[in-house]
A and B are shown apart, each in its own frame.
Chain A
Amino acid sequence: MNLPIWMPYALCGAGLVGLGLYGLLARPQLLRRILAFNIMGAGIFLLFGALARRGAVVGAIVDADPVPQAMIITGIVVAISATALALGLIVAHARAGGGEGLPGDTPGVGERDEPGADEAADDSGSADRDGRRDEREGTRR
């Protein structure tokens, strides 16, 4: 068996994509889903890098095709920005009284407080409630 050098990396990348996609779809906890997003992103970048190496063998340009590498770098920057926004939203969600998951995804994970708060059609009341909940959270910590 003579595997090409890029093959294990490509298989590993494909495996990470699968793991990440599973976590993103099946896990209710927000933090785990963001981690899964990063794992899936890493898998795609690894796969792309490995395939770039294969492109070099076929096309015989240089050691590796540089275009995918430039794209991977841009992709990493995009993924980091997305992760930062997601973490910021998760922190704000938790401060406003949300649980570690989204309401309605899995019973018992989403809601930490009274479930009626979702109704909040009139904005005036909910802002107050959130403020009070903030204080409560603060003292508990």
Chain B
Amino acid sequence: MSPVPLVLVLTLPLIGALAAVAVGRHGGRVATAAALATLGAALWLAVRVAAHGTVSVTVGDWTPPLGIRLNADGPAVLFLAVTAVIMAAVVLYARRSITGPKAGVDRGGPMAHTFWALLLLLWGALNVIFVSRDLFNLYVGLELASLAAVALVGIEGRRETLAAALRYLLFALTGSLLFLLGAALLYSAHGTLDLGLLAGQLGRHPSDLLALAAMTAGLAAKTALFPFHVWLPPAHAGAPPAASAVLSALVPKASLYILLRLWFDAAPDGAGTIGPQLLGALGAAAVLHGSLMALRQQRLKLVIAYSTVAQLGYLFLIFPLAAATAAIDPAGADAAWRGTLFQALSHALAKAAMFLCAGLIIEAAGHDRLDRLAGTARALPITLFAFGLAAISLMGLPPSGGFVAKLLLIDAAFERGAAAWALVVLIGGLLAAAYLFRPLAAAWRSPDGDDPDFAPVARRRQALPMALALAALGLGLFSDGPAGLMGGLP
């Protein structure tokens, strides 16, 4: 099997990032070319893997445990493809203006010089994470992604965004070090860092439990699991909208992806019963807390950011539903696995669409305060329609990807005989409907008195979030293909 598309997916964003630095203020053109080329390579790879199975590269022909093998299997190509779709939309969106209302400031400013390079670097790091099986390679990818993401949060240089970036950086650095500590302990106990070789060995050495706990805590902090979520809302709401879309949709998914690989590829039976239950309880707390906080926000971007905290919580329900039960109850565990992946992918598409919508609304109205959004629906009908479609996926209404995800999770909970987790999913859906109704209602209200002025926004740009929201719906309508690629619990 020729590994060319896999190599292209990994190298094109990095080449693009270097080229974007070299050409300075014309980086937008380079980034567009790199984004479209990478999108093509990712889709090519996905089709390849769907037709012929896993594609892998052994770097420099050094086999594990000494070398590193990059493996693009079903779940990996799904994440690669969704990342590519979102990144391409974000790059096309940001061509016109990177930040919100002050579009003129962009040209030639520091943002134009660094934004494209950081975005492509982040993309490259995410792609590396999705195909790596080596814990140290994952650590390097995780750090690259975090540093690029932190820089994107603080790129506007205002005090609030710099404070948000610093808080994010502190959480991310602590998380990375805990992950590295766990990797060091695992290596000294087992002599390998390859997840495939570690499979079945975890839990045999006394230090394994400590290693696993440190890595899980570190990755949970990076995934903004409750109560480590405090960095997320200011960081995601403060970044420029194009960056927020990527940060909220993709970056937490990368650390979650590693967590899933660690728990379910390497299958640590020594985790006991308390760990998975605790992770599930924290996920449930995140769903409730994030939703209630989203209900109380007065700014659109903060509503969307707190919604991310809530939606990430669902992803942790897989631990009580599937950990250490694959042997007893394969059907339920498979449903939990697929439901979690569907939730991760459909949330990524819907959340990216929402942040791009918020960016367009800010561009048109000059602000994102909910109480002054009246009349927006008349000025930006396509944008608001896209927002509504994305909201359908987040609420989990049919026929969206979010619906498939929640159905599978509820199914898994009943298979397992733990209906409490299903209740969390249902309540979370109701709360999502409540907090997403507020901005929609505000936008559809007619303004009292004079019509407020809205800056015009090109139809072509309004089509970008629309395409992402439709992709989130399509994930539910055509769920057979992705479900086949996901396979069962590894």
Q: Which residues of B contact A17 (CB under 8 A)?
A: 181
Q: Is the interface of B mostly helix, strand, loop or mixed?
A: helix
Does residue A93 face the partner (Cβ distance < 8 Å to B)? Answer: yes
Q: Which residues of B contact A25 (CB under 8 A)?
A: 174
Q: Which residues of A contact B366 (CB under 8 A)?
A: 122
For this complex, 23 residue pairs linking A to B, each with C-beta atoms less than 8 Å apart, are A21-B174, A37-B177, A40-B177, A41-B180, A44-B180, A44-B184, A68-B184, A71-B184, A82-B169, A85-B150, A86-B166, A86-B173, A89-B150, A89-B154, A89-B165, A89-B169, A93-B162, A96-B157, A103-B163, A117-B159, A121-B299, A126-B159, A130-B158
In the complex, are the beta carbons of A120 and B158 less than 8 A apart? yes
B103 smallest CB distance to A (angstroms): 12
Interface string of B160-182 (1 = CB under 8 A from A): 10110111011001101100110
Give the total of B residues in contact with A, Cβ under 8 Å.
40
B184 smallest CB distance to A (angstroms): 4
Closest B residue, CB atoms, query A48 = B184
Interface string of A104-137 (1 = CB under 8 A from B): 0000000000000110111110110010000000
Q: Which residues of A contact B169 (CB under 8 A)?
A: 82, 85-86, 89
B239 smallest CB distance to A (angstroms): 12
Which of these, B140, B151, B368, contacts A78 with CB under 8 Å?
B140
Which of these, B160, B166, B188, B367, contacts A30 with CB under 8 Å?
B166
Q: Which of A85-105 contact B (CB under 8 A)?
A: 85-86, 89-90, 92-93, 96-98, 102-103
Q: Which residues of A contact B151 (CB under 8 A)?
A: 85
Does residue A15 face the partner (Cβ distance < 8 Å to B)? Answer: no
Q: Which of B73-111 contact A (CB under 8 A)?
A: 100-102
| Most central of A59, A82, A103, A124 by chain B CB within 10 Å | A82
**What are the 7 closest A-B residue pairs judged by CB atoms, nearest first?**
A51-B188, A96-B159, A48-B184, A93-B162, A78-B143, A37-B173, A44-B181
Q: How large is the interface on A (under 10, 10 to 19, 20 to 34, 35 or more residues)?
A: 35 or more
Chain B contacts to A: CB under 8 angstroms: 66, 100-102, 136, 139-140, 143, 147, 150-151, 154, 156-160, 162-163, 165-167, 169-170, 173-174, 176-177, 180-181, 184-185, 187-188, 191, 299, 366-369
Q: Which residues of A contact B177 (CB under 8 A)?
A: 20, 37, 40-41, 44
Q: Which residues of B contact A41 (CB under 8 A)?
A: 177, 180
Which of these, A24, A55, A71, A123, contacts B100 with CB under 8 Å?
A123
In the complex, are the beta carbons of A93 and B170 less than 8 A apart? no
Bound-state Cα–Cα, A51 to B147, Å = 28
Q: Say yes or no: A71-B136 contact (C-beta < 8 A), given A40-B177, A85-B151, A90-B166.
A: yes
Bound-state Cα–Cα, A92 to B147, Å = 16
Which of these, B165, B170, B188, B368, contacts A33 with CB under 8 Å?
B170
Closest A residue, CB atoms, query B185 = A51
In the complex, are the beta carbons of B159 and A102 less than 8 A apart? no
A11 smallest CB distance to B (angstroms): 14
Chain A contacts to B: CB under 8 angstroms: 17, 20-21, 24-25, 30, 33, 37, 40-41, 44, 47-48, 51-52, 54-55, 59, 67-68, 71, 74-75, 78, 81-82, 85-86, 89-90, 92-93, 96-98, 102-103, 117-118, 120-124, 126-127, 130
Q: Say yes or no: A124-B101 contact (C-beta < 8 A), given A37-B173, A68-B187, A89-B150.
A: yes
Which of these, A71, A89, A118, contacts B166 with CB under 8 Å?
A89
Bound-state Cα–Cα, A93 to B299, Å = 24
Q: Which residues of A contact B157 (CB under 8 A)?
A: 92, 96
Q: Say yes or no: A126-B174 contact (C-beta < 8 A), given A17-B181, A44-B184.
A: no
Which of these, A47, A86, A103, A123, contacts B158 with CB under 8 Å?
A123
B454 smallest CB distance to A (angstroms): 16
In the complex, are the beta carbons of B147 and A81 less than 8 A apart? yes
Q: Which residues of B contact A40 (CB under 8 A)?
A: 177
Q: Which residues of A contact B367 (CB under 8 A)?
A: 121-122
Bound-state Cα–Cα, A89 to B160, Å = 12
Task: With A59-B191, A93-B162, A96-B162 given, name 7 new contacts (CB 8 A).
Answer: A44-B181, A51-B184, A52-B188, A71-B184, A85-B169, A97-B159, A102-B167
In the complex, are the beta carbons of B159 and A93 less than 8 A apart? yes
Q: Which residues of A contact B167 (CB under 8 A)?
A: 102
Closest A residue, CB atoms, query B153 = A89
In the complex, are the beta carbons of B188 and A55 less than 8 A apart? yes
Bound-state Cα–Cα, A130 to B159, Å = 8
Q: Which residues of A contact B147 (CB under 8 A)?
A: 81-82, 85
Q: Which residues of B contact A51 (CB under 8 A)?
A: 184-185, 187-188
